[in-house]
Amino acid sequence: MGLLVVGSVAFDDLETPSGRRENILGGSASYFSLAASRLHPVQVVAVVGDDFGPEQDQVFQGRAIDLSGLIRRPGLSFHWKGEYGQDLNEATTLETHLNVFADFHPDLPASYRSASCLFLGNIDPVLQMDVVRQMTARPRWIALDTMNFWINGAREALLRVLKEVDILLVNEAEARSLTGERNLLKIYEKVQQLGPRFLVVKRGEYGVVLLTPQGHFLAPAFLLREVVDPTGAGDTFAGGFMGFLASAPDSDLETLKRAVLMGTVMASFTVEQFGTAGLESLTDNALHGRLDAMRELIHLSAR
Amino acid sequence: MGLLVVGSVAFDDLETPSGRRENILGGSASYFSLAASRLHPVQVVAVVGDDFGPEQDQVFQGRAIDLSGLIRRPGLSFHWKGEYGQDLNEATTLETHLNVFADFHPDLPASYRSASCLFLGNIDPVLQMDVVRQMTARPRWIALDTMNFWINGAREALLRVLKEVDILLVNEAEARSLTGERNLLKIYEKVQQLGPRFLVVKRGEYGVVLLTPQGHFLAPAFLLREVVDPTGAGDTFAGGFMGFLASAPDSDLETLKRAVLMGTVMASFTVEQFGTAGLESLTDNALHGRLDAMRELIHLSAR
């Protein structure tokens, strides 16, 4: 049974210190599914406009990505325009056009409703809850991403859906505004009271913190010579992380740690090129080579 | 043979979100020697005024800290006043009074000149070079800390002393202004051209990056529930790191990694209390307990 993702499939205009791109494929569900599908079959729920054509379709072809839940509507797809300064850790949003996304209502195909794992990408928490309610069986893992726009503007709805969630995946600023705490251990205590037993805090170039009832894990980001475009790094991380969990028989701390490393390494390929190019051209050799290199970067020999 | 440190022994006025303290013992050589002396005998070169009395002396007593190179002069000791906001990663300096430090000229006792390891704390690079020249034998390890004040204001002198140095220990902003690069791998290439074969980049709550010709190592900071006062964290790290290297028979990558962990864990005790209190009260049990906990936080089981 598949790994279900609900999120956005979008077009992005990006400017970074390395250059600019217009109208390139983006959106949380795109990055997520390209990463996760290397590890486990993915089912996508999203909406696109009629600007989503064969060129975009083709990016998902030949991969374990089921697009039967991708709604195609007249009009334009979600469009985001953003830029990054020398500090690549944070994007400045210049324009957001919801377009067909404005009245998106996820309606899961029957084959999606028994997915084994569910990733609720960063969309309106009311829609995230809508997806949870359509599941006929409780997925093994439900993970959720969100952002300050929903934390501040749709808090009640967000708190409702969080009660259904196992893993909250957010960046440090989001974790802080959700809980009102600054310290990660205190943040984690508050998050557990809200529902999720697991917390993954994304810190951009400083890596990821995994907090679990069985223990915690601190993983740095992979050391790269060049970061071209950070867009999609968090969604790629989520894809690698959830793809690993969906494909793993176990759910213990060691499995979660390895999922974090997989997400970290996948994200390192995304940021080396604009948009989804790094994920599209990623080979198994490159992926496993970098997983080994990542292990070396954090490895201590036994005492 | 000892581990020689040249740096400041000072009085600090501190304000952090957790409270304020006035006239407490501080200075790079104080933190460094309290940390390092747990692992290896330390020899201190610094200057203090006549405000440095029995109360301060007593902090160093009963430890493997040789103060015969501590010059006592009429007048006041170096005094620093600083504050931290909610973001504890950076201090704002409110006042700096050099006092007797203004005409400090290190003059090493004969017993110091054959020290096996040397740490050049963050002082005028001309004085750092002065210390290097007084050594009768090349120490096994020479490490250097500096700051933007010297990088921008005494660049030539800094570049001269860097040629003698094995390990450069700086924070990320300092590494960037020294080299003009933002990317850590590019920074490391430039640093190697300046002399040091090893680079340790301190990232505050995000940990430490060790770059060596044999490979790199990324260590997170220890997860703490409460950070009370970050003052001295970098100097404590340096003390734990250099103390470990001085006491270790080997100089390989694995030894350097363990030195990084030791420095990281020592620093975690410093930031939990104001000033040197956390280091003064540190027990072997607490140190080893936290070293084990730190290993757990970054540990992956074998493949």
In chain A the domains, ranked by start, together with CATH numbers, are 3-298 (3.40.1190.20)
* Distance (Å) of CA A168 to CA A6, A254, A287: 15, 18, 26
Structure confidence at residue A303 (pLDDT): 54
- Closest by CA position to A193, among listed A148, A149, A162: A162
Helices (H) and strands (E) in chain A, counts: 11, 13
Buried-exposed string A283-302: b where 16+ CB fall within 10 A, e elsewhere = eeeebeebbeebeebbbbee
**Which tokens go with A73?**
């509507």
Can you give the pLDDT of all 303 residues of chain B as single tens digits? Answer: 899 999 999 999 999 999 999 999 999 999 999 999 999 999 999 999 999 999 999 999 999 999 999 999 999 999 999 999 888 878 899 999 999 999 999 999 999 999 999 999 999 999 999 999 999 999 999 999 999 999 999 999 999 999 999 999 999 999 999 999 999 999 999 999 999 999 999 999 999 999 999 999 999 999 999 999 999 999 999 999 999 999 999 999 999 999 999 999 999 999 999 999 999 999 999 999 999 999 999 988 865
Contact A223 B185 (CB under 8 A): yes
- Residues 6+ positions from B62 with CB-CB distance below 8 Å: none
Structure confidence at residue A208 (pLDDT): 97
A-chain residues within 8 Å CB-CB of B220?
207, 209, 218-220
Contact A207 B223 (CB under 8 A): no
* Whole-angstrom distance, CA of residue A257 vs CA of residue A215: 10
Contact status of B182 with chain A (Cβ, < 8 Å):
yes
Contact status of B293 with chain A (Cβ, < 8 Å):
no
- The model's pTM is 0.95
Quickly tell me which residue has 């959700």 as its tokens.
A178
pLDDT band at A148, cuts 50/70/90? very high
Report the 10 Å Cβ neighbour count for A248.
18
Contact status of B209 with chain A (Cβ, < 8 Å):
yes
**Which tokens go with A182?**
């600054």
Contact status of B90 with chain A (Cβ, < 8 Å):
no
Structure confidence at residue B303 (pLDDT): 53
Structure confidence at residue B88 (pLDDT): 83
Structure confidence at residue B162 (pLDDT): 98
Report the 10 Å Cβ neighbour count for B172.
16
What's the mean per-residue pLDDT of chain A? 96
**Which tokens go with A262?**
């997989």
Contact status of B227 with chain A (Cβ, < 8 Å):
yes
Q: Is the pLDDT of residue A195 over 60?
A: yes
Pairing of strands B117-120, B3-6: parallel
Chain B residue with Cα closest to A291: B303
Q: Closest Cα of chain A to B217: distance in Å? A: 5
Q: Is the pLDDT of residue A176 over 80?
A: yes
Of B215, B220, B261, the CB nearest to A218: B220
* Whole-angstrom distance, CA of residue B262 vs CA of residue B266: 6
Of B220, B257, B296, the CB nearest to A215: B296
Structure confidence at residue A175 (pLDDT): 97
Chain A residue with Cα closest to B205: A206
* Whole-angstrom distance, CA of residue B36 vs CA of residue A7: 52
Return the bridge partners of A16, or none: A19
Q: Is the pLDDT of residue A55 over 70?
A: yes
In this predicted complex, what is the ipTM?
0.92
Structure confidence at residue B76 (pLDDT): 97
Contact B295 A297 (CB under 8 A): no
| Region at B41 (left for phi over 0; alpha for psi -120 to 50; beta for the rest) | beta
Write a three-state SS string for A50-88: CCCCHHHHHHHCCCCEEEEEEEECCCCCEEEEEEECCCC
Q: Is the pLDDT of residue A60 over 70?
A: yes
Choose, out of B172, B203, B223, the residue to mutate when testing the contact with A (most A CBs < 10 Å).
Answer: B223
Helices (H) and strands (E) in chain B, counts: 11, 13
Contact status of A244 with chain B (Cβ, < 8 Å):
no
